[in-house]
Amino acid sequence: MEEEARRQEGLDLEEEDVDALTEKRLKLREKALQRQQEEVLPQEEEDEEEEEEEEEESEYETDSEEEYTGVAMVKPVFVPKSERDTIAERERLEAEELALEEATKRRLEERKIETRQIVVEEIRKDVEIQKNLELEANIADVDTDDELNEAEEYEAWKVREIGRIKRDREEREAMLKEKEEIEKVRNMTEEERREWERRNPKPAPPPKQKWRFMQKYYHKGAFFQDDPDDRAATVGSDNIFARDFSSPTGEDKMDKTILPKVMQVKHFGRSGRTKWTHLVNEDTTDWNNPWTYNDPLRAKYNDKMAAMNAPIAKPKGSKKLKDWETR
Protein backbone atom coordinates (compact mmCIF):
# COMPACT_ATOMS: atom_id res chain seq x y z
CA MET A 1 0.00 0.00 0.00
CA GLU A 2 2.78 2.36 0.86
CA GLU A 3 4.54 1.66 -2.44
CA GLU A 4 1.36 2.40 -4.38
CA ALA A 5 0.89 5.65 -2.49
CA ARG A 6 4.46 6.69 -3.25
CA ARG A 7 4.03 5.76 -6.91
CA GLN A 8 0.83 7.77 -7.03
CA GLU A 9 2.58 10.81 -5.53
CA GLY A 10 5.39 10.46 -8.08
CA LEU A 11 2.87 10.40 -10.91
CA ASP A 12 1.15 13.49 -9.51
CA LEU A 13 4.48 15.34 -9.31
CA GLU A 14 5.36 14.36 -12.85
CA GLU A 15 1.98 15.61 -14.09
CA GLU A 16 2.49 18.92 -12.28
CA ASP A 17 5.97 19.28 -13.84
CA VAL A 18 4.57 18.54 -17.29
CA ASP A 19 1.82 21.16 -16.84
CA ALA A 20 4.36 23.75 -15.67
CA LEU A 21 6.63 23.06 -18.62
CA THR A 22 3.71 23.24 -21.02
CA GLU A 23 2.60 26.59 -19.63
CA LYS A 24 6.15 27.90 -19.76
CA ARG A 25 6.52 26.82 -23.38
CA LEU A 26 3.25 28.54 -24.30
CA LYS A 27 4.48 31.80 -22.77
CA LEU A 28 7.77 31.55 -24.67
CA ARG A 29 5.91 30.92 -27.90
CA GLU A 30 3.69 33.98 -27.34
CA LYS A 31 6.74 36.17 -26.71
CA ALA A 32 8.51 34.84 -29.80
CA LEU A 33 5.45 35.42 -31.99
CA GLN A 34 5.10 38.98 -30.67
CA ARG A 35 8.74 39.77 -31.45
CA GLN A 36 8.41 38.24 -34.88
CA GLN A 37 5.43 40.47 -35.63
CA GLU A 38 7.34 43.54 -34.47
CA GLU A 39 10.48 42.71 -36.45
CA VAL A 40 8.48 41.44 -39.48
CA LEU A 41 10.57 38.41 -40.20
CA PRO A 42 10.20 37.46 -43.87
CA GLN A 43 10.83 33.75 -43.70
CA GLU A 44 8.42 31.22 -42.19
CA GLU A 45 11.06 28.50 -42.09
CA GLU A 46 12.93 30.40 -39.44
CA ASP A 47 9.75 30.40 -37.28
CA GLU A 48 9.37 26.64 -37.61
CA GLU A 49 13.02 26.09 -36.75
CA GLU A 50 12.63 28.27 -33.67
CA GLU A 51 9.58 26.24 -32.57
CA GLU A 52 11.50 22.97 -33.02
CA GLU A 53 14.39 24.36 -31.03
CA GLU A 54 12.00 25.41 -28.25
CA GLU A 55 10.47 21.88 -28.14
CA GLU A 56 13.93 20.30 -27.88
CA GLU A 57 14.86 22.40 -24.88
CA SER A 58 15.65 20.65 -21.66
CA GLU A 59 12.85 20.14 -19.13
CA TYR A 60 15.04 21.40 -16.40
CA GLU A 61 15.78 25.12 -16.92
CA THR A 62 16.71 27.67 -14.33
CA ASP A 63 15.21 31.14 -13.90
CA SER A 64 18.29 32.75 -15.46
CA GLU A 65 17.95 30.53 -18.55
CA GLU A 66 14.33 31.63 -18.93
CA GLU A 67 15.41 35.29 -19.19
CA TYR A 68 17.96 34.53 -21.93
CA THR A 69 15.66 32.29 -23.95
CA GLY A 70 13.09 35.12 -24.11
CA VAL A 71 15.27 37.06 -26.64
CA ALA A 72 14.62 35.92 -30.25
CA MET A 73 17.76 35.89 -32.40
CA VAL A 74 17.61 36.28 -36.17
CA LYS A 75 19.34 33.53 -38.06
CA PRO A 76 22.01 34.78 -40.49
CA VAL A 77 21.29 33.87 -44.08
CA PHE A 78 24.07 33.44 -46.64
CA VAL A 79 23.73 35.62 -49.78
CA PRO A 80 25.74 34.64 -52.88
CA LYS A 81 28.20 37.18 -54.30
CA SER A 82 26.26 37.43 -57.54
CA GLU A 83 23.18 38.54 -55.63
CA ARG A 84 24.89 41.12 -53.44
CA ASP A 85 23.56 44.48 -54.77
CA THR A 86 25.79 46.70 -52.61
CA ILE A 87 29.05 45.18 -53.85
CA ALA A 88 27.96 45.28 -57.48
CA GLU A 89 26.79 48.90 -57.14
CA ARG A 90 30.07 49.96 -55.52
CA GLU A 91 32.10 48.24 -58.23
CA ARG A 92 30.00 49.90 -60.93
CA LEU A 93 30.49 53.39 -59.41
CA GLU A 94 34.24 52.83 -59.10
CA ALA A 95 34.40 51.74 -62.73
CA GLU A 96 32.48 54.87 -63.82
CA GLU A 97 34.83 57.15 -61.84
CA LEU A 98 37.88 55.51 -63.40
CA ALA A 99 36.39 55.87 -66.87
CA LEU A 100 35.61 59.55 -66.21
CA GLU A 101 39.15 60.25 -65.00
CA GLU A 102 40.63 58.54 -68.04
CA ALA A 103 38.35 60.53 -70.37
CA THR A 104 39.38 63.80 -68.65
CA LYS A 105 43.08 62.97 -68.98
CA ARG A 106 42.61 62.02 -72.62
CA ARG A 107 40.74 65.27 -73.32
CA LEU A 108 43.51 67.34 -71.69
CA GLU A 109 46.14 65.61 -73.79
CA GLU A 110 44.13 66.27 -76.95
CA ARG A 111 43.76 69.95 -76.05
CA LYS A 112 47.50 70.27 -75.45
CA ILE A 113 48.20 68.75 -78.85
CA GLU A 114 45.68 71.09 -80.53
CA THR A 115 47.17 74.14 -78.78
CA ARG A 116 50.67 73.23 -79.92
CA GLN A 117 49.45 72.78 -83.47
CA ILE A 118 47.72 76.20 -83.40
CA VAL A 119 50.88 77.90 -82.06
CA VAL A 120 53.02 76.25 -84.73
CA GLU A 121 50.55 77.33 -87.44
CA GLU A 122 50.50 80.95 -86.22
CA ILE A 123 54.29 81.09 -86.10
CA ARG A 124 54.48 79.71 -89.61
CA LYS A 125 52.00 82.35 -90.86
CA ASP A 126 53.98 85.16 -89.20
CA VAL A 127 57.20 83.91 -90.79
CA GLU A 128 55.56 83.79 -94.22
CA ILE A 129 54.15 87.31 -93.84
CA GLN A 130 57.55 88.64 -92.78
CA LYS A 131 59.20 86.97 -95.78
CA ASN A 132 56.63 88.45 -98.16
CA LEU A 133 57.12 91.92 -96.67
CA GLU A 134 60.86 91.67 -97.07
CA LEU A 135 60.49 90.56 -100.67
CA GLU A 136 57.93 93.22 -101.59
CA ALA A 137 59.56 96.04 -99.67
CA ASN A 138 61.01 98.86 -101.75
CA ILE A 139 63.03 101.78 -100.48
CA ALA A 140 61.29 104.05 -102.97
CA ASP A 141 57.96 103.51 -101.19
CA VAL A 142 59.20 105.34 -98.08
CA ASP A 143 58.39 109.05 -98.00
CA THR A 144 61.69 110.77 -97.27
CA ASP A 145 60.98 114.19 -98.79
CA ASP A 146 61.16 116.00 -95.44
CA GLU A 147 64.46 117.66 -96.36
CA LEU A 148 63.80 118.37 -100.03
CA ASN A 149 62.78 122.01 -99.35
CA GLU A 150 65.06 122.66 -96.41
CA ALA A 151 65.70 126.30 -97.37
CA GLU A 152 61.98 127.10 -97.63
CA GLU A 153 61.25 125.37 -94.32
CA TYR A 154 64.01 127.36 -92.67
CA GLU A 155 62.66 130.67 -93.99
CA ALA A 156 59.15 129.81 -92.76
CA TRP A 157 60.56 128.95 -89.35
CA LYS A 158 62.43 132.29 -89.20
CA VAL A 159 59.18 134.17 -89.89
CA ARG A 160 57.38 132.29 -87.12
CA GLU A 161 60.23 132.79 -84.68
CA ILE A 162 60.44 136.54 -85.40
CA GLY A 163 56.70 136.83 -84.81
CA ARG A 164 57.00 135.05 -81.47
CA ILE A 165 59.90 137.27 -80.36
CA LYS A 166 58.00 140.42 -81.38
CA ARG A 167 54.87 139.30 -79.54
CA ASP A 168 56.83 138.53 -76.37
CA ARG A 169 58.56 141.94 -76.49
CA GLU A 170 55.26 143.77 -76.95
CA GLU A 171 53.70 141.90 -74.03
CA ARG A 172 56.70 142.70 -71.84
CA GLU A 173 56.64 146.40 -72.79
CA ALA A 174 52.89 146.62 -72.18
CA MET A 175 53.32 145.03 -68.75
CA LEU A 176 56.11 147.44 -67.79
CA LYS A 177 54.09 150.41 -69.05
CA GLU A 178 51.06 149.28 -67.05
CA LYS A 179 53.21 148.88 -63.96
CA GLU A 180 54.67 152.41 -64.33
CA GLU A 181 51.20 153.83 -64.84
CA ILE A 182 49.90 152.09 -61.72
CA GLU A 183 52.77 153.46 -59.65
CA LYS A 184 52.17 156.92 -61.07
CA VAL A 185 48.47 156.82 -60.18
CA ARG A 186 49.21 155.61 -56.67
CA ASN A 187 51.48 158.57 -56.03
CA MET A 188 48.87 161.11 -57.23
CA THR A 189 46.65 163.13 -54.98
CA GLU A 190 42.88 162.83 -55.11
CA GLU A 191 42.50 165.88 -57.41
CA GLU A 192 45.24 164.67 -59.77
CA ARG A 193 43.71 161.21 -59.87
CA ARG A 194 40.26 162.59 -60.74
CA GLU A 195 41.81 164.71 -63.49
CA TRP A 196 43.74 161.74 -64.83
CA GLU A 197 40.61 159.56 -64.85
CA ARG A 198 38.73 162.31 -66.71
CA ARG A 199 41.44 162.48 -69.40
CA ASN A 200 41.83 158.69 -69.57
CA PRO A 201 38.35 157.21 -69.21
CA LYS A 202 37.95 153.46 -69.10
CA PRO A 203 36.72 151.93 -72.35
CA ALA A 204 33.04 151.21 -72.09
CA PRO A 205 32.18 147.52 -72.47
CA PRO A 206 30.06 146.62 -75.46
CA PRO A 207 26.36 146.75 -74.68
CA LYS A 208 24.86 143.39 -73.92
CA GLN A 209 21.83 142.31 -75.83
CA LYS A 210 18.69 141.89 -73.77
CA TRP A 211 17.53 138.33 -73.73
CA ARG A 212 13.99 137.38 -74.58
CA PHE A 213 11.54 135.83 -72.16
CA MET A 214 12.51 132.16 -71.48
CA GLN A 215 15.32 132.26 -74.04
CA LYS A 216 17.75 129.33 -73.96
CA TYR A 217 21.35 129.96 -72.94
CA TYR A 218 24.19 128.81 -75.20
CA HIS A 219 27.84 129.07 -74.21
CA LYS A 220 30.20 130.49 -76.81
CA GLY A 221 32.42 127.41 -76.54
CA ALA A 222 35.88 126.85 -75.14
CA PHE A 223 37.59 125.25 -78.13
CA PHE A 224 39.42 126.78 -81.13
CA GLN A 225 39.07 130.35 -79.86
CA ASP A 226 41.50 132.81 -81.41
CA ASP A 227 41.20 135.49 -78.76
CA PRO A 228 41.73 135.35 -75.82
CA ASP A 229 41.86 131.57 -75.37
CA ASP A 230 44.40 130.76 -78.07
CA ARG A 231 47.38 132.95 -77.16
CA ALA A 232 49.71 131.08 -79.51
CA ALA A 233 47.53 132.03 -82.52
CA THR A 234 47.90 128.60 -84.04
CA VAL A 235 44.28 128.25 -85.11
CA GLY A 236 43.82 131.48 -86.97
CA SER A 237 40.98 133.98 -86.84
CA ASP A 238 37.51 133.27 -88.13
CA ASN A 239 34.45 135.50 -88.38
CA ILE A 240 32.30 132.84 -86.73
CA PHE A 241 33.97 133.57 -83.39
CA ALA A 242 32.87 137.21 -83.59
CA ARG A 243 29.23 136.21 -83.92
CA ASP A 244 26.82 137.20 -81.15
CA PHE A 245 26.17 133.87 -79.46
CA SER A 246 23.44 135.38 -77.24
CA SER A 247 21.08 136.10 -80.14
CA PRO A 248 17.85 134.04 -80.16
CA THR A 249 17.54 131.07 -82.49
CA GLY A 250 14.72 128.73 -83.44
CA GLU A 251 11.75 128.90 -81.07
CA ASP A 252 13.41 131.68 -79.05
CA LYS A 253 12.70 134.17 -81.86
CA MET A 254 9.01 134.05 -80.97
CA ASP A 255 7.72 136.38 -78.25
CA LYS A 256 6.53 134.00 -75.52
CA THR A 257 5.05 136.75 -73.39
CA ILE A 258 1.93 136.84 -75.58
CA LEU A 259 1.23 133.15 -74.91
CA PRO A 260 -1.26 132.07 -72.23
CA LYS A 261 0.12 131.53 -68.77
CA VAL A 262 -0.25 127.75 -69.01
CA MET A 263 1.93 127.67 -72.16
CA GLN A 264 4.73 129.78 -70.69
CA VAL A 265 6.74 126.71 -69.67
CA LYS A 266 9.61 124.73 -71.15
CA HIS A 267 8.73 121.73 -73.34
CA PHE A 268 5.01 122.43 -73.32
CA GLY A 269 2.93 119.37 -74.16
CA ARG A 270 5.81 116.92 -73.74
CA SER A 271 6.44 114.29 -71.11
CA GLY A 272 9.61 116.07 -69.98
CA ARG A 273 8.03 119.47 -69.46
CA THR A 274 8.47 121.35 -66.18
CA LYS A 275 6.23 123.75 -64.37
CA TRP A 276 9.11 126.17 -63.68
CA THR A 277 9.71 129.17 -65.95
CA HIS A 278 12.53 131.31 -64.51
CA LEU A 279 14.05 132.28 -61.17
CA VAL A 280 12.37 135.66 -60.96
CA ASN A 281 8.95 134.07 -61.22
CA GLU A 282 9.81 131.52 -58.51
CA ASP A 283 11.43 134.03 -56.13
CA THR A 284 9.86 133.77 -52.65
CA THR A 285 11.81 136.56 -50.99
CA ASP A 286 9.76 138.51 -48.46
CA TRP A 287 10.82 142.12 -48.88
CA ASN A 288 8.84 143.15 -45.80
CA ASN A 289 11.25 141.18 -43.63
CA PRO A 290 13.70 143.56 -41.88
CA TRP A 291 16.59 141.24 -42.80
CA THR A 292 16.06 141.77 -46.53
CA TYR A 293 16.46 145.54 -46.88
CA ASN A 294 19.36 147.75 -45.83
CA ASP A 295 18.68 150.57 -43.41
CA PRO A 296 21.00 152.49 -41.07
CA LEU A 297 20.53 149.87 -38.36
CA ARG A 298 21.37 147.08 -40.78
CA ALA A 299 24.42 148.99 -42.08
CA LYS A 300 25.64 149.50 -38.51
CA TYR A 301 25.30 145.78 -37.86
CA ASN A 302 27.22 144.95 -41.04
CA ASP A 303 30.08 147.24 -40.01
CA LYS A 304 30.59 145.14 -36.89
CA MET A 305 31.16 141.99 -38.92
CA ALA A 306 34.63 140.55 -39.27
CA ALA A 307 36.93 142.06 -41.95
CA MET A 308 34.36 144.67 -42.96
CA ASN A 309 36.55 147.68 -42.07
CA ALA A 310 39.94 146.01 -42.51
CA PRO A 311 42.61 148.28 -44.07
CA ILE A 312 43.50 147.55 -47.69
CA ALA A 313 47.25 146.98 -47.87
CA LYS A 314 49.35 147.56 -50.94
CA PRO A 315 49.47 144.43 -53.09
CA LYS A 316 52.82 142.70 -53.09
CA GLY A 317 52.64 141.64 -56.72
CA SER A 318 52.81 138.23 -58.28
CA LYS A 319 55.88 136.10 -58.88
CA LYS A 320 55.42 136.47 -62.63
CA LEU A 321 55.60 140.28 -62.35
CA LYS A 322 58.78 140.08 -60.29
CA ASP A 323 60.34 137.83 -62.91
CA TRP A 324 59.59 140.43 -65.60
CA GLU A 325 61.19 143.15 -63.45
CA THR A 326 64.42 141.23 -63.12
CA ARG A 327 64.81 140.87 -66.91
Higher pLDDT, 37 or 29: 29
Higher pLDDT, 86 or 28: 28
Residues 199-222 pLDDT 10s: 888 888 888 888 888 888 887 666
Q: What span, in angstroms and rounded, lies between the C-alpha atoms of 182 and 196?
A: 12
Give the mean model confidence (pLDDT) for residues 152-156: 88
Give the mean model confidence (pLDDT) for residues 239-246: 73
- pLDDT at residue 132, rounded to an integer: 80
Question: Can you say how many angstroms the Cα of residue 261 is from the centroid of all Cα atoms in its chain?
Answer: 46
What confidence category does residue 112 fall into, taking pLDDT thresholds of 50, 70 and 90?
very high
Q: What is the mean pLDDT of the chain?
A: 76
- pLDDT at residue 13, rounded to an integer: 59
Asked if 226 and 238 touch (Cβ cutoff 8 Å), the reply is: yes
Query: The whole model's pTM is what?
Result: 0.30
Distances in Å between the Cα of 168 and the Cα atoms of 154, 165, 172, 316 are: 21, 5, 6, 24
Q: What are the contacts of 209-217 at 24+ separation with CB within 8 A?
A: 209/244, 209/246, 209/247, 211/246, 211/248, 212/248, 212/252, 212/253, 212/255, 212/256, 213/255, 213/256, 213/257, 213/264, 214/252, 214/256, 214/264, 214/266, 214/277, 214/278, 215/248, 215/252, 216/252
Higher pLDDT, 132 or 70: 132
Residues 249-302 pLDDT 10s: 888 888 888 989 888 888 888 887 877 777 878 888 887 877 777 778 878 888
